[in-house]
Structure 1
Amino acid sequence: MPGDPTMKHLAYHDADRVTVAMDVDYPDGASTGWHAHPRAQLLHAIEGVMTVRSEAGTWVVPPSRALWLVAGMKHEVRMSGAVKIRTVFIDATALDHLPKQSRVVSVSPLLRELIVAAVRIPLDYPGYCRDARLMRLLIDEIREADVLPLHLPSPRELRVRRICEGLLADPASSSTAEQWGRQLGVTARTVHRLFVRETGMTFAQWRDQARLLIALQRLAQAERVIDVAFDCGYASQSAFTAMFRRHFGKPPSEFYR
């Protein structure tokens, strides 16, 4: 993060107001390093793509989405493309009906404009004024935001972790659960059972999700759709486009426009 991120965040962590917001821009490839915040955080990029890692897993957060991070969660943010972050810090202990788990949420046009406007509000805004009303409306919009499936759970079990690392290193791999099981000295049934227990997903579901999130990262780098499709294990560009449209309602060529 440009400057001293620790010092910059401290003012927002210690603010008297329940809800405050800040902005910061990053170059392509930058990383925040591992850190945590005492407040809950809504992390939104108006440009670029964020990949956020935590012990609970990985989230990919493109524009028109945001990541809700619960207070105290240790995480790292990596940037794909030049990224302009607008983030809201919230003392969730002072408010009801906010998410209890970290998640990617949709950002409506109204929520986006509220986030952008909140960044311009000073930390010491009066409690009963237009700025305070705007912040309350922002909270209401966060409560109503739809949850999106852009999370890749991280397993703790060593054998499952080894498989996941292999799938991430080579998303085009067609190795089956049975083939992975032979490498690890277990049956395919055991592989499937461990995946569901560790990640809440089947082996195939986890692999498909990993491919999707890797594709999002690469598309943010303006790579050709056909190259991303083949490198992520799809038989054709049309098969990749059909999957992408099912998830996001638009083809990959239009996603970042």
Structure 2
Amino acid sequence: MPTEPALKHKEYDNLPRSVVVMESRWQAGMSTGWHSHPKAQLLYATEGVMVVHTETGSWVIPPNRALWVATGLRHTVSMSGDVWMRTAYIETGQVPALPQASCAINVSPLLRELLVEAVRLSPTEAPEGRDARLLALLIDEIRDSATMPLHLYLPMPSDARLRSICDGLVAQPSEAASVAQWAASIHVAERTLHRLFAQETGMTFAQWREQARLLHALRRIAKGDKVIDIAIDCGYASPSAFTAMFRRHFGITPSGFYQ
């Protein structure tokens, strides 16, 4: 069943305003459940970390980033820590030159304050004067914000046997069992496991496991955990090995990723 905060957005989905901003509070571990919106959405948390899943990938969004969610995209948001969320719903047909695809963006101090202030505006009355200028500046800041490489492609297989493996790797990313061991656990040949992973996810087993570890690492980094602890938790023998993998994927070290 949807949680009470998750129901709040339905009041905003069909408002006639082209831009409207709401706030909601979520406790650690809560989730919105799968849903979509008839408008584009900017998700931003002034506190806590959001993990946003879609059917093809995931984003980890700390308080200095926001996620632009394209119109109609099915997604679910999980809360890492208590989250104070600000959400802008934007009718892109009336507000041109905004992103067409979902993406993470940098949140400047100005954009942060605009989102916080916009929550106080009436969701039903047409904005005039200062309110109209505030929303216009909010849109300008979204347009000018730099996009960030936070997206991880992590498709979940529909095959129940593979799903059990993937669920296990997500729950325990340090798990170091070989492909042969995983294949034996679901009673198939190693070659069959490789073939099934390619068919179901478009990735090799090794690629999928690395993506799962990266997603786990981004959650930990966003919470401020130490790189050495994250490396061990992700199954790497040393922080340098983990950092090399992380840099290969994102082009930056873990310690500098969210700065």
- Given the two structures, how large is their TM-score scaled by the length of structure 1? 0.77
Q: Which residue of 2 aligns with 1:196?
A: 198
> Shift of the alpha carbon at 1:130?
1.2
Helix, strand or coil: the match of 1:50? strand
Give 2:64's aligned residue.
64
5 Å-filtered alignment, 1:39-50, equals 39-50=39-50
Q: Does residue 83 of the first structure (1) align with residue 61 of the second (2)? A: no
Q: Secondary structure at the match of 1:165?
A: helix
Query: Are 1:49 and 1:63, in contact at CA under 8 Å, matched by a contact in 2?
Result: yes
Q: 1:23 to 1:149 in 2, by over 3 A?
A: same
Indicate the SS of the match to 1:153.
coil
Please, which runs of 5 or more residues in structure 2 have no aligned partner?
none
Aligned to 2:217: 215
CA apart distance, 1:221: 5.0
Q: CA deviation at 1:21?
A: 1.5
8 Å CA contact 1:58–1:154 kept in 2: the answer is no
Q: Which 5+ residue runs of structure 1 have no aligned equivalent?
A: none
| Partner Cα distance (1:39, 1:97) in 2 | 15
Decide whether aligned partners of structure 1 residues 105 and 248 sit closer, same or farther in structure 2, where only a CA change above 3 A counts: farther
The alpha-carbon deviation at position 37 of structure 1 amounts to: 2.8
- The residue identity in structure 2 corresponding to 1:206 is W
Residue 204 of structure 1 and its aligned partner are, at CA, apart by 1.5
Distance 1:241 1:63, change over 3 A: farther
Matches within 5 A, 1:205-244: 205-220=207-222, 223-244=225-246
Match of 2:170 in 1: 168
Q: How many residue pairs align between the two structures?
A: 252
CA distance change for structure 1 residues 108 and 189 in 2, over 3 Å: closer, same or farther?
A: farther
Q: RMSD value over aligned CA atoms?
A: 3.4
Query: SS at 1:82's partner residue?
Result: strand
CA drift of 1:87 comes to 1.5
Report the counterpart of residue 181 of structure 2 in structure 1: 179
Q: How much has 1:185 moved relative to structure 2?
A: 4.2
Aligned to 1:28, the other structure's residue is in SS state: coil
Q: Deviations over 1:161-215 (max 9, x none)?
A: 2221121132112223333233334444443343334333332222111112112
| Percentage of pairs with the same residue | 49
Q: Which residue of the partner structure matches residue 107 of structure 1? A: 106
